[in-house]
Amino acid sequence: MKENDTTLVEELARVNEQLRTNIAKLERSGEALRESEAFVLAVMENLPIGIAVNSVDPAVNFSYMNDNFLKCYRTTRSALADPNSFWEAVYEDPEFREEIKRRVLDDCASGDPKRMRWNGVPITRKGEETTYVSAMNTPIPSKGLMVSTVWDVTAHMRAEEEQRKLDRKVQHAQRLESLGMLAGGIAHDFNNILMAVLGHAELAMVKLSPLSPARGALAEIVTAAHHAADLCRQMLTYSGRTSGPVARIGLRELVEEMAHLLKTAISKKAILNLNLDHDLLPIQGDPSQIRQILMNLIINASESIGDRSGVITVSAGATRCDREYLESTELGDAIPPGLYMHLEVADTGCGMDARTKERIFEPFFSTKFAGRGLGLAAALGIVRAHKGALKVYSEPGRGTTFKILFPALEEKVSDEKPSAPTEWRGKGTVLLVDDEQSLCALGARMLEHLGFHVLTASDGREAVDLYRKRPGEIDLVLMDLTMPHMDGGEAFGELRRINPDIRVILSSGYSRDDVAGRFAGKNLAGVLQKPYTIAKLTEALSAVMPGREA
């Protein structure tokens, strides 16, 4: 009996020891499990994205969420504590809330992993900037749970939007540049045609008796040709590379001088208000072109008001522009931040929608039945030539405001204009070069009328050969810029190699400033823009050639 008792005690002791060992193992396993759980939670809490575990039902009950989950959705734990609280806590706008809720629940119900990912979801809060998140759900069917992952994509969305804005701006600039090249080409060709019309009409008037009944008809032809040339000039102005004589301009004084003219240009039902600051710095530019901008904007404002009563306000003031502001304007990318004088025309008319606003500076685009679509296109070109910028504010039914920015001028600019000689007569030999035979013949007659002996050539190559043969005889070369075989630019270079002191005047249907800028510093004697009159020809020649002695 004692032996059996001893065996039982020993067995009990062994079992007890085994139990203690097992308990110790379980305790160690539990500790390891708790450490593992703590590690996983620490990782989850420190991930740069938001993670939550929630029910798969529409109530979205959460059993876990990290801080970044709350941060991405811009909410708090207490706001998500109650069932069904997620949708209202995260999405403030009721209409969007129902839309996103329906979409998310439908996508989750499909079981398709590709549908359980949502990109660029806006998170709005009243009075705060909108942020954006992307989210993904991963179901755990065996547990009836869903792992919800979310990350902030605000910076990415804003970068994409900025890129889209930049792309639109580049495309807009490229479109305007292409249209400008088209407009310039049309203007150049028309100027060549107008040169023949205007020149022959002027020569005919010179030859006719003052009492001839034909003089009236010729005068009408000359007037019509000048009007057509003005239209061509507007098309060239659109390129932004043409300007007139430079002067110091006070915007306040310019508007005050035009006040009476502006009042006559607007509808009788419109009221014109002037809001002109004092002590403004002057700007540098062509006064006639600034007046053209103002008149175009005033007429547009009046037509926008139409037959209704309305107000047009013309303002002049100073604006200090930073880079961000300039980037929101037309042409602002090309000018530096700083102090600008502004000219502003605001109306209470019908306004414009976004689509119309995008196209208003395109040449030939007009919302008016009888409009040519050149007014605002020319205005943009003038502003570009003056190294300024232009900003447009407009909404349908709420009127339109055009704000023109010109760089403030601190250095004095001479505004003296050379006086054109009267009854001037030339002497010597001029080599006239033009591939258009009719223009060559016309130009020869005009030069002979002024007292010159004239030689002619039909292209640059022929002109260079003729000058090489008769270098001491030719006093000046009047040459068209655009010609076949060898154009005026190439021929000018060849002629200067023969004689570095040669006097060459280039003529062109393109902008005078554009041509002059192309040959700056190359000893070009002058540029004559087509169509030119006898007076303009006289002015150009008298500046570089001696006249006959009386």
Give the CATH number for residue 381.
3.30.565.10
Q: Assess if residue 360 is contained within a domain.
A: yes
- One domain for residues 509 and 447: yes
Of 377, 407, 437, the residue that ends a domain is 407
**Beta strands, E only, 436-481:** 453-457, 476-480
Hey, is 503 helix, strand or coil? coil
Residue 369 pLDDT: 43
**Contact present, 460 and 488 (Cβ < 8 Å):** yes
- One domain for residues 394 and 251: yes
Residue 292 pLDDT: 84
Q: Assess if residue 550 is contained within a domain.
A: no
Q: Assess if residue 161 is contained within a domain.
A: no
Burial of 463-488, coded b for 16+ CB within 10 Å and e otherwise, reads bbebbeeeeeebbbbbbbbbbeebbb
Residue 223 pLDDT: 82
Burial class of 9 by CB neighbour count within 10 A (0 to 12, 13 to 18, 19+): exposed
Tokens 């996103």 correspond to what residue? 100
C-alpha triplet 304, 310, 313: angle, nearest 5°: 85
Predicted structure pTM score: 0.47
**Contact present, 460 and 434 (Cβ < 8 Å):** no
Of 208, 237, 266, the residue that ends a domain is 237
Residue 425 pLDDT: 85
- One domain for residues 333 and 287: yes
CATH number at residue 519: 3.40.50.2300
End-to-end CA distance of the chain: 164
Question: Residues for the chain: how many in total?
Answer: 550
Residue 541 sits at φ, ψ, to 5 deg, of -75, -40
- One domain for residues 399 and 267: yes
Q: Assess if residue 135 is contained within a domain.
A: yes
- One domain for residues 371 and 488: no
- One domain for residues 395 and 359: yes
**Contact present, 479 and 492 (Cβ < 8 Å):** yes
Give the per-residue SS3 of 278-298.
Answer: CCCCCEEECHHHHHHHHHHHH
37: Cα separation from own chain's centroid: 58
- One domain for residues 378 and 306: yes
- One domain for residues 339 and 458: no
Distance between CA atoms of residues 241 and 19, nearest Å: 98
Please give the residue range of the domain that contains residue 473. Answer: 429-542
Residue 172 pLDDT: 64
Residue 417 pLDDT: 46
Residue 244 pLDDT: 56
- Here the tokens at position 288 are 């006639």
CATH number at residue 109: 3.30.450.20
- One domain for residues 76 and 135: yes
Residue 242 pLDDT: 54
Residue 11 sits at φ, ψ, to 5 deg, of -65, -40
Q: Assess if residue 418 is contained within a domain.
A: no
**Beta strands, E only, 188-309:** 247-249, 270-276, 283-285
In terms of Cα–Cα distance, which of 461, 520, 522 is closest to 487?
461
Flag residues of the chain having pLDDT under 70: 1-5, 40, 172-185, 231-245, 363-375, 410-422, 511, 547-550
Of 237, 263, 290, the residue that ends a domain is 237
- One domain for residues 261 and 301: yes
- Here the tokens at position 381 are 């070109």
What are the tens digits of pLDDT across the range 188-226? 777 778 887 888 888 888 788 878 888 888 888 888 877
Q: Assess if residue 417 is contained within a domain.
A: no
Q: Assess if residue 484 is contained within a domain.
A: yes
Domain count within the chain:
5
- One domain for residues 20 and 88: no
- One domain for residues 40 and 90: no
Q: Assess if residue 253 is contained within a domain.
A: yes
Query: CB neighbours of 239 closer than 8 A, spacing ≥ 6?
Result: 180, 181, 183, 184, 381, 511, 514
